Amino acid sequence: MGDTRWKPSVTVAAVIERDGRYLLVEEMTSDGLRLNNPAGHLDPGESLLQAAVRETLEETAHPFEPEALVGVYMAALHRPRTGEHITYLRFAFCGRVGDAIPGRLLDQPVVRTLWMTPDELRACPERHRSPLVLQCIEDHRAGRRLPLNALYTAESIHTLGQSGA
């Protein structure tokens, strides 16, 4: 009968604010150019924090140091062009970034990074990759923070990545 168990797609996101502006990526999707928080999928063998650091560096060329968990989010999205129905489980972290590393290329499909105010982002919801983009920023602005020690990663996760599973 196959595997019929429902499995949401686990992702991480970075909510990075500097001088009232938030670091975003503009990326090419099946629905065209869209705005997103620096974000991506959790890979085998890594913790949620490691994934957030890696994805932020890959998508923005900025080193990221998570300081708190902003929230855990779920959203079911339908991609009209591909017909896909995907449920995302997103862990959003806030923290500090260093300066962009000169010469470091951004992972495809990221086209560029940009810093936007919340008002600029609110003015273009049709350009958001998902409704979670703005929700994470609104929650950050509202002061939502959970300590990083609220997350636990068993050592077995790290050995999972080494076995190639």
pLDDT in tens, 5-21: 889 999 999 999 999 99
pLDDT in tens, 20-51: 999 999 999 988 999 999 999 999 999 999 99
26 in any annotated domain: yes
16 in any annotated domain: yes
pLDDT in tens, 130-156: 999 999 999 999 999 999 999 999 999
Q: Tell me, what's the pLDDT at 31? A: 84
121 in any annotated domain: yes
Averaged pLDDT for residues 49-66: 98
17 in any annotated domain: yes
- Of 115, 86, 123, 107, the closest CA to residue 39 belongs to 107
2 in any annotated domain: no
Confidence of residue 74 (pLDDT cuts 50, 70, 90): very high
Q: Please identify which residue in the block is written with the tokens 């063998």.
A: 45
- Domain limits for position 121: 9-147
Per DSSP, the three-state class of 129 is coil
113 in any annotated domain: yes
Q: Tell me, what's the pLDDT at 165? A: 45
Helical residues (DSSP H) of the chain, grouped into ranges: 48-60, 118-122, 132-141, 155-162
8 Å CB contact between 45 and 67: no
Q: Tell me, what's the pLDDT at 159? A: 84
Report how far residue 15's alpha carbon sits from residue 153's, in angstroms, rounded to the nearest whole number: 21
CATH number of the domain that residue 47 is part of: 3.90.79.10
159 in any annotated domain: no
Q: What's the angle, vertex CA 79, arms to CA 25 and CA 105, rounded to 5? A: 25
- Of 151, 160, 164, 157, the closest CA to residue 49 belongs to 151
- Total tally of structural domains belonging to the chain: 1
79 in any annotated domain: yes
Say how far residue 133 (Cα) sits from the centre of its chain.
9
